[in-house]
Amino acid sequence: MIFGRSERGKPPVEPVTLKILVAGGFGVGKTTLVGAVSEIRPLRTEEFLTEAGRPVDDTTGVERKHTTTVAMDFGRITLREDLVLYLFGTPGQERFWFMWDELSEGALGAIVLADTRRLEDCFAAVDYFERRSIPFLIGVNCFEEAARYPVEDVRRALDLDEAVPVLLCDARDRSSVKDVLVGVVQHAMDHDAGRRQTVTT
């Protein structure tokens, strides 16, 4: 066996690395999602919600949440031997909007996580990606306490374009999150193909 070759005798591949953003409202499950799939210990910059932060961070409906991401979550997942995703969880609170432009630089696409109990919390993220033509999909994080709605209802409530995928998921579950990630890569590729077509025809 030659060193540097994989078991199947093929030379090792230099993987393509893609950047995916994970956005959505406060407490929707962004940190959980990145942690569920990341192969590296996810880098988290969480701070305990302080008394001082209480009037700013609205925890109504997310009473179990005691920490808040102040900067961002970061993780990595190898989808295939030649495809590695870097995940960036964007800070949900409005006071961190200034970071988004930098984070979205070079991003292939985005996941907007949604909780059907607080759907309005993801309006800002949807708006942001629509305006910048960054391909995104909606991942409805199905908290067991929340009522289930058909994806078409979610699409209508968010006034989404037909092309935007809406997927149900569980942010705690690795395989569920993987499906969402594959979905966003696929959607971004379709989006890109569509754009190229518009340019050439």
Ligand X SMILES: Nc1nc2c(ncn2[C@@H]2O[C@H](COP(=O)(O)OP(=O)(O)O)[C@@H](O)[C@H]2O)c(=O)[nH]1
Contacts with ligand X by CB under 6 A lie at 26-32, 62, 64-65, 69, 92, 141, 143-144, 170-172
For residue 38, state whether it binds Mg ion (rule: CB under 5 A): no
Maximum separation of any 2 CA atoms in the chain, in Å: 63
Q: Of these partners, ligand X, Mg ion, none, which one is at the site of residue 28 (CB under 5 to 8 Å by kind)?
A: ligand X
Q: Of these partners, ligand X, Mg ion, none, which one is at the site of residue 143 (CB under 5 to 8 Å by kind)?
A: ligand X
Cβ 68 to Mg ion, closest distance in Å? 7
Structure tokens at 149: 């709605």
Cβ 18 to ligand X, closest distance in Å? 21
Question: Which residue's CB is nearer to Mg ion, number 176 or number 188?
Answer: 176
Cβ 165 to Mg ion, closest distance in Å? 23
Q: Of these partners, Mg ion, ligand X, none, which one is at the site of residue 29 (CB under 5 to 8 Å by kind)?
A: ligand X
**What's the one-letter identity of residue 92?**
G
- Name 131's Cβ contacts closer than 8 Å, sequence gap at least 6: none
**Owner of token pair 């994970």:** 22
Structure tokens at 147: 């009522």
Q: Of these partners, ligand X, Mg ion, none, which one is at the site of residue 32 (CB under 5 to 8 Å by kind)?
A: ligand X
Quickly list H helices, the chain: 30-37, 100-104, 123-131, 151-157, 174-200
What is the C-alpha to C-alpha distance for residues 89 and 112, in angstroms, rounded to an integer?
A: 10
Q: Which residues pair with 20 in a beta bridge?
A: 87, 109
For residue 69, state whether it binds Mg ion (rule: CB under 5 A): yes
Residues within the interface to Mg ion (CB under 5 A) = 30-31, 69
